[in-house]
Amino acid sequence: MTAHTPVFCSIVPPHLLEHLARSSDPAVAATARRTLAADASARSARALPRPGSPPTAAPRAAATPHRTVHDCRHGTDLPGEKVRAEGEEATGDASVNRAYAGLGATFDLFLNAFGRDSIDGSGLPLIASVHYDRDYGNAFWNGEQMVFGDGDDEIFLDFTLPVDVIGHELAHGFTQHTANLEYFSQSGALNESVSDVFGSLVKQYALGQSAEAADWLIGEGLFHPNVEGRALRSMKAPGTAYDDDVLGKDPQPAHMDDYVRTGSDNGGVHINSGIPNHAFYLAATELGGNAWERAGQIWYDVMTGGTLTPETRFAEFAAATAKAAKDRYGDGAEIQAVLKSWAAVGVPVD
């Protein structure tokens, strides 16, 4: 049985926060440095052994979500005070209610589109904490739960606002319980890309959007209106999500010719994820209809098929998607769309 190694996975990449930390605006720089320090602390906490096992749900006759939302009250002790449990009425806190709804939207996609009972396939309870730290500009999955900051209201708004951010972070848990892709270099970029894929699918499923109607943006609505940017990433056009005097320019490539070799960000996991992201976008839009029905099913089959290793690279993942397309759909439009999409981003399919 594969060991499921929990890792700290955040939605805002460190390169963006490091850029903000060098801002000429003292307030922006100070907030970014605070967020980087909080991330480092949370990352270190995951390296410490914790007593007991992660909670698991009791056996159920039917798959239903088991959600709990906590309030950190601007502290960093997790999970914080429990403020809403499964089935309870909405509270007066919009962040709590959005987190609760986003956990449910993610559960609904995995159950209704793929027949999966929660992100682990066995009814794992979904836990979230809101109001983490002060002016914290990030959201993360720590191997056990979701954590959301409120943002600084200058660069970032509340991290519970975009449902795809919630889906993205929970999808790190899905990866943790399936292929367990190592969070480094190409396997790490695939880990990030899988979260963007399923985060986008959560949003599209919740809104009833076709692949053509979707915006394919990750974190749309997260930036303050004064920021020159639409989102953190664009699967449709990597490298175009933002271009701002304070934030800098989106560095994501869309093709292997522009692959970024770097020692930061675990080998560029948030940057080079643009390549497999764009491949999925191309496959989904080539096939048309709802992206979760064929392209999403192929990616899901790859993640749950047991053929990936933690060190899987782009070409190996591409080959696995081609095999999954053939196994499920035969020699039809699906495998042709998959092959065409990887060729378009410069990834060979052997």
State the catalytic residues. Answer: 169, 270
| Secondary structure of 170-209 as H, E, C letters | HHHHHHHCCCCCCCCHHHHHHHHHHHHHHHHHHHHHHHCC
Residue with tokens 């700290």: 8
Pairing of strands 126-130, 146-148: parallel
The angle subtended at Cα 245 by Cα 243 and Cα 249, nearest 5°, is 30
Per-residue burial over 105-134, b = 16 or more CB atoms within 10 Å of its CB, e = otherwise: bbbebbbebbebbbbbbebbbbbbbbbbbe
- From the list 52, 337, 22, 350, the residue with the least C-alpha distance to 211 is 337
Maximum separation of any 2 CA atoms in the chain, in Å: 58
Q: Do 133 and 76 meet the contact criterion of CB atoms below 8 Å apart?
A: yes
- From the list 250, 258, 267, the residue with the least C-alpha distance to 186 is 267
Residue with tokens 């699967």: 235
- From the list 142, 189, 190, 151, the residue with the least C-alpha distance to 169 is 142
Using alpha carbons, list the distances in angstroms from residue 270 to 18, 162, 204, 259: 14, 18, 22, 12
Using alpha carbons, list the distances in angstroms from residue 302 to 51, 114, 175, 296: 33, 12, 11, 10
Q: Give the helix/strand (H/E) hosting 285.
A: helix 274-287
Using alpha carbons, list the distances in angstroms from residue 254 to 110, 125, 240, 296: 27, 36, 10, 19
- CA gap 130, 71 in Å, rounded: 5
- CA gap 324, 327 in Å, rounded: 5
